[in-house]
Structure 1
Amino acid sequence: MLPPEGHPAASSGQVCHLQKSLYGLKQASRQWNTEFCGELLDFGFSQSYDHCFFYQQSGSHFTCLIIYVDDVLVTGSDPQCIAALKAYLDRLFTIKELGFAKYFLRVELARDAAGTYLNQRKYILDILANVGMMDCRPASTPFPQGLKLVGKSGILLTDPDKYCRLVGRLLYLNLTRPDITFCVQQLGQFVNSLSSSHWDAAIHVLGYLKGCPSKGFYYSAGGDSSLVAYCDADWATYPNTRRSVTGYCIFLGGSLISWKTKKQCTVSRSSAEAEYRALSMTVCELQWISYIASNFQLSIPTPIPLFCDNQGTLHIVANLVFHECTKHLDIDCHLVRDQFKSSFVIPQKVSSHLQLADMFTKALGPVVFAFLTSKLGMKDLHLGPT
């Protein structure tokens, strides 16, 4: 670091050698992470596959923590182990203890003996107030039914920065709101070619959030460790590129823990091909969750039910011979089939009207959307602002 102007001991060409990192420097975050992780490892913690998660098994007691820069969330089965960890961190870094978690990274937590409720009500109301939508009329769905956005449609926006800021906030809101996942993924595709139609679609999402700002998840404390997954694909959903979109959701003991909407990397030549790529992505996520679950000392029962509504895809999984029409799916087929043969997953047929992942691939009508949202386990404990 260059010495400040007027420093009496500094001569030409000299720089300051820092003994510790300072906020704002390019290397500060990396140095802080290296220092903090090293101290946790020295204390006996192990780093998970997810590098933000640390855990420690001491006899029959289990302690874990999650870090985000310098914010730490700690939990465990033994209060004495937690107290020893906090004393150790306070001796090294002088921490500030805030007690039981009630508001962490803009996520509100409410707890009782039966479980934990998560929502981002305050964050949603802040977004509405910032955009000036507190008095708007609520909408019943995030997107109008059947809406598909395309690039450069309508009048170009004169101030694209406000759209980008809004989409960035909605992306973070997706942490507890799977009901807007598909809409946010669609809005994020057009940050480089914005028009009035994209802004109107984003405003419609805010209208939906106005009607249910406190909707969130209630995670029961008595659930089991079984996994259930749903995956779906909407074939050639993008008019400009004709790529398909993948959607999946995964439940642990009846509670939704993972969901995603993602545009596929290549063009699929049939709906079965698009569904198979969605199946492959879901299997990868199930493998990742099983690795994390092992760090939590959870034993995941296998095979894991994996529900798909495309019969042709299920036939490809069960067929041990590659045909001419499916040889271009070689990698995806091997991945899913190997996990099927090892009894890690068991793909099963589900009716289209019971396919929970359908809401992650397209804009649905109010009746179907409300039905699928209720099946995801989302609850609203407060009324929206009037």
Structure 2
Amino acid sequence: MTTWGAIRIGRLTLRETTTGEEGLNAQTGERSLKLTGQEASPPLPAAELLARHDSVLGLHGALVQVTFDDKTGLDGYYGVTDASAVLRNEQGEIQTSDWSVSLKRFGGPGEVDIQSRLTGIKRANDFSLSGEAWHAPAIGHYAYSAGAAIPSSMTRATVDGTITVYRGLTSGTNPRWGCAPADYPLGRARLLSMGLERTGTNQQLEASGWELTNGLVRVTPSSSGTLLVEAWGGTTWEAKDWTISDGTPITGWDSATLVRNDYEQTVIRLTREQGPNETGRVVLDIGLRRGSRLVECYLQRSTSATLSAYLTAGEAYTNTASSGYLVASSNDADGNKATCGSARSFTAHANLGISKASVTALDCYLAAVVDGSSAVSGDAATDLRNQYVGALPEQTMAIRR
């Protein structure tokens, strides 16, 4: 019986077939690769087959690393120029997805740099904070170059391994770095729905069956509508429960949508009706960046109300809302301190949280100061606040050396 290898295209793993069709454009000199194959249920569970089918289509336009079990000479970085999949259901007895992916080759290991384009501006804020520009490339990267000025760095332990965070980047920096294709996914931001990692944004998600993580932080919805935010403590996940309120604590969401789904940042959007017999809606965007300890939230409501995000079980804190953040007074049982903040002025919630009256939007971050009073430089509460204010939009490109 033939044992098939696997192809890893970005987040997606598919069965490796015997052929890979390569081409060379005589006018541009660009190399291309076309891959085809079939996934079937059985042996796959039906839900996983459908997820792979949707994920093939979600690859279109993406920069991806591609690695093979058998055809390792084709390993490298590619751009997805076309993707298609044909789904068949044989009266419920067997389902198949015949897929095809067309790729433009940027280069193999050692030929390509990843460039992180850190565009845009830091967050406008009400506290006269300049923030801290920072960046976290993939775990296993090498030869990081951020221009003439050499940034400082720190490391953080994730479930994928140790990630390096570069701090104090100068304005206008677009770092370049090398990375073996097999290492490129390590430390990535990702969204799992019903236990399966999703590719692209055109995915059907369960409103309550998702998990957002970057290996440092994990966010899941509870059965009561709160957000369970967990920090990786090196050996286990350490949790805090946060309540989201639009005047009344939100106990559930009607839908979930992927807004962005890249290795460097993933954002999920939750939506619900504003209230019984009331027109309008409440929307919560939740984002995680690669290498970040912060859960970034943006809560919106059609009409003004008191918008809040706070610990479900309150903790003591010193009121530093005038400086843009709050942090627990003492370490918890895991040795951490809960912290949160906003770029805009707010009222401190009694439970430790952010609250603002008569508004239609609220930005905030939720986090843990890992190791609490003994946190290393870069992980203290004020450092996390500054990283929230200073975070820059990131897009990655593959550039031949």
Give the TM-score, by structure 1 length: 0.24
Query: Going by fraction, where is strand more abundant, 1 or 2?
Result: 2
Give the TM-score, by structure 2 length: 0.24
Query: Going by fraction, where is helix more abundant, 1 or 2?
Result: 1
* Bigger radius of gyration: 1
